[in-house]
């Protein structure tokens, strides 16, 4: 019957990239991309908006490596704002007034010594009651006073010829000032010599360490945040806090009520608005007139039970290809979310049409993910749970699944709670992930992410081909950093 004449749909293991003529050396492949209309990344990677994956620690780590962390939403709105601010301020050139540790001239040397030690700083601007900068006190100033002059006052010990700069100072100018005057910190002052911020040598060096970082126009790290499908108030708060991308976070964004709210949110915020998740061309068509990005994935996640619970879903390669087909005509970036286990899966998603990929389980075991390391049978793990699991829904995310919060806790979950092997640093995981994607770009002869989208072709893999593709007929003795048998 007509009902049973169904289209075939494919996922990662069903396909491989056809090797093609190439002059691309993997190390030279350019992996920069767009995650949404106005936000660019230096690597095409996002960490999932899940409460066991992305809080500010992960988001800072992701952005420093060139990607984007999307903060989860199982926290209250005030916490969300604080988390966004943590990310946006992490690598700021000018430390803001409220975060600058200051001394006053009447404090004693021992008080100020203790204060700097507690705050973990090696120097502090000295200000009067009106915040006017009078001097700078540093470890070098204090040292001669220790033991014999500990009750002397800061006003006496401080360096009172202060080199200051204005708010719009550049890193280069600040460095020059520090070099000329052999100093390590420059207070930023307003026209009345009042303290408005501080630039430190340490801060500048830290920024230099992350030269591939993804930054906004003001040089701050980029940050994403998930908000509930009907939560326009939170979207507004996130926008005011300076977030770069707001992700309307829903398991089924082809719900027309969700789309109505998403459209309203888009009209009221400055940040880019990415809408998801969807998995079909029909859904994409509803979003292209307003969304700055579309996120794809109905049921591919490692902890996701949507397909078995609801009987609905779309194998991920087909889902990405369908959505990308529609989005391409409107120049809207597509993000492939979920189901990526290996770097090869990530570059296959790009070949199917994604501009960037989002991963949960891949990062949940790293130091930067929230939660502690657990040891079971001598092996180390970290907790990883679906946002549709009972535990996560109880913590506030039920509306992602278009379900009401309920008191009696009788949720119908669409995810499980699990553990994932402990993996160490995020940077080394990303190194493997991105390096593997670049290998793929070498095999298909594409120098850029958009080149992969255009040029790459798939071949179909049989069950025998699938077996052939993994290590076989051997016993692995030393596990590779980018492969473990699933
Ligand atoms: P994975 O990388 O395969 O672990 O998948 C992560 C993705 O799974 C998330 O970005 C999200 O889209 C989806 N997810 C999160 N929770 C659940 C669930 O409980 N079903 N699914």
Q: What is the per-residue pLDDT across 270-292, written as a single tens digit (0 to 9) for each? A: 999 999 999 999 999 999 999 99
409/399 Cα distance (integer angstroms):
14
Give pTM, 2 decimals. 0.89
DSSP letters for 244-307: SEEEEE-S-TT-HHHHHHHHHHHHH-SSEEEEEEE-SHHHHHHHTTT-SEEEE-SS-STTB-HH
Summarised one tens digit per residue, pLDDT across range 422-452 is: 999 999 999 999 999 999 999 999 999 999 9
Q: How far is the CA of 391 from the centre of ligand 1 (A)?
A: 14
244/270 Cα distance (integer angstroms):
8
Q: How far is the CA of 196 from the centre of ligand 1 (A)?
A: 42
Summarised one tens digit per residue, pLDDT across range 97-149 is: 988 999 999 999 999 999 998 888 889 999 999 999 999 999 889 999 888 88
48 lines ligand 1 (CB under 6 A): yes
Q: How far is the CA of 358 from the centre of ligand 1 (A)?
A: 9
Does the ipTM exceed 0.95? yes
* Residue 421, beta-bridge partner list: 381
pLDDT of residue 407: 61
Catalytic residue numbers, as ranges: 304, 400
> Mean pLDDT score of the chain, rounded to an integer?
93
* Structure tokens, 56: 């500010």
Q: Is the pLDDT of residue 160 over 80?
A: yes
126 lines ligand 1 (CB under 6 A): no
298 lines ligand 1 (CB under 6 A): no
pLDDT of residue 341: 96
Q: Measured from the CA of 358, which atom of ligand 1 is nearest?
A: 10
Going through 201-258 in order, the beta strands assigned E by DSSP cover: 224-227, 245-249
Going through 161-260 in order, the beta strands assigned E by DSSP cover: 185-189, 195-200, 224-227, 245-249
């Amino acid at each position: 019957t007509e009902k049973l004449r169904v289209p075939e749909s494919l996922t990662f293991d069903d396909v491989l990239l056809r090797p093609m003529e190439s002059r691309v050396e993997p190390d030279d492949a350019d992996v920069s991309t767009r995650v949404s209309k106005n936000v660019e990344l230096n690597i095409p990677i996002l960490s999932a908006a899940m409460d066991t994956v992305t809080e500010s620690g992960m988001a800072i780590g992701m952005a420093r490596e060139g990607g984007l962390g999307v903060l989860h939403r199982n926290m209250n709105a005030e916490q969300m704002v604080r988390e966004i601010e943590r990310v946006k301020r992490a690598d700021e050139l000018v430390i803001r007034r409220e975060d600058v540790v200051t001394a006053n001239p009447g404090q004693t040397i021992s008080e100020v010594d203790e204060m700097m030690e507690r705050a973990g700083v090696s120097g502090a601007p000295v200000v009067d009651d009106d915040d006017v900068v009078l001097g700078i006190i540093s470890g070098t100033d204090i040292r001669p006073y220790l033991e014999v002059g500990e009750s002397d006052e800061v006003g006496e010990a401080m360096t009172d010829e202060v080199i200051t700069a204005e708010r719009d100072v550049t890193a280069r100018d600040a460095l020059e000032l520090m070099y000329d005057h052999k100093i390590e910190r420059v207070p930023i002052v307003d026209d009345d010599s009042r303290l408005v911020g501080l630039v430190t040598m340490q801060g500048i060096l830290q920024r230099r360490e992350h030269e591939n970082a993804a930054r906004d126009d003001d040089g701050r790290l980029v940050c994403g945040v998930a908000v509930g499908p009907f939560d326009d108030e939170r979207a507004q708060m996130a926008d005011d806090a300076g977030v770069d991308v707001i992700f309307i976070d829903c398991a089924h964004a082809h719900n027309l009520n969700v789309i109505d709210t998403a459209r309203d949110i888009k009209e009221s915020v400055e940040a880019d608005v990415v809408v998801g998740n969807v998995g079909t061309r029909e859904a994409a068509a509803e979003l292209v007139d307003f969304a700055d990005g579309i996120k794809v994935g109905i049921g591919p996640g490692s902890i996701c039970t949507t397909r078995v619970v609801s009987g609905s879903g779309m194998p991920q390669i087909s889902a990405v290809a369908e959505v990308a087909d529609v989005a391409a005509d409107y120049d809207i970036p597509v993000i492939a979310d979920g189901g990526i286990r290996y770097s090869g899966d990530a570059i296959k998603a790009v070949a199917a049409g994604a501009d960037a990929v989002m991963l949960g389980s891949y990062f949940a075991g790293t130091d930067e993910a929230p939660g502690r390391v657990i040891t079971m049978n001598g092996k180390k793990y970290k907790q990883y749970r679906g946002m549709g699991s009972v535990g996560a829904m109880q913590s506030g995310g039920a509306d992602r699944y278009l379900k009401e919060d309920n008191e009696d806790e009788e949720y119908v979950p669409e995810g499980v709670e699990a553990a994932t092997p402990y993996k160490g640093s995020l940077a080394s995981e990303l190194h493997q992930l991105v390096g593997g994607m670049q290998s793929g770009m070498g095999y298909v002869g594409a120098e850029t992410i958009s080149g992969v989208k255009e040029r790459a072709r798939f071949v179909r893999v049989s069950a025998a081909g699938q077996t052939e593709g993994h290590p076989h007929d051997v016993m692995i003795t030393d596990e590779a950093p980018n492969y473990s048998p699933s």
